[in-house]
Amino acid sequence: MRFSIRWNVLWVLGLVLITLTASAMAQSVVSDEKDRRLIDLTVYNHDLALVREVRLVELPKGAFEF
């Protein structure tokens, strides 16, 4: 049960991060689950977790702010 709650929280945080990043850029690039190449979840003591996600995204030429 706790594992699924963590995944839901991670999905929401990821979507918020993508939304904030896309709105801050002059040109927006959207990445979805088909771009995902790897995802790792490491759970530590005291309800602390580390998520690592690798995505393949093609960016157009030009300057971007992250």
The pLDDT assigned to 64 comes to: 65
Has residue 21 been placed in a domain?
Answer: yes
What is the predicted pLDDT for the residue at 40? 94
Residue with tokens 């759970």, as numbered in its chain:
43
Whether 20 is covered by a domain: the verdict is: yes
Q: Model-level pTM?
A: 0.44
What is the rounded CA–CA span in Å between residue 60 and residue 13?
Answer: 25
pLDDT in tens, the chain (66 residues): 455 777 777 878 887 777 766 555 556 777 888 989 999 999 999 889 999 999 998 887 776 665
Identify the domain containing residue 36 by its residue range: 2-55
Q: Confirm whether 61 is domain-assigned.
A: no
Alpha carbon separation from 35 to 10, 43, 46, 47, 61 (Å, rounded): 17, 24, 32, 28, 19
pLDDT, position 26: 55
Provide the pLDDT for residue 16.
77
- Answer yes or no: is 62 within a domain: no
Within 8 A by CB and 6+ apart from 29, the residues are 22, 57, 58, 59, 60
Q: What is the tally of structural domains in the chain?
A: 1
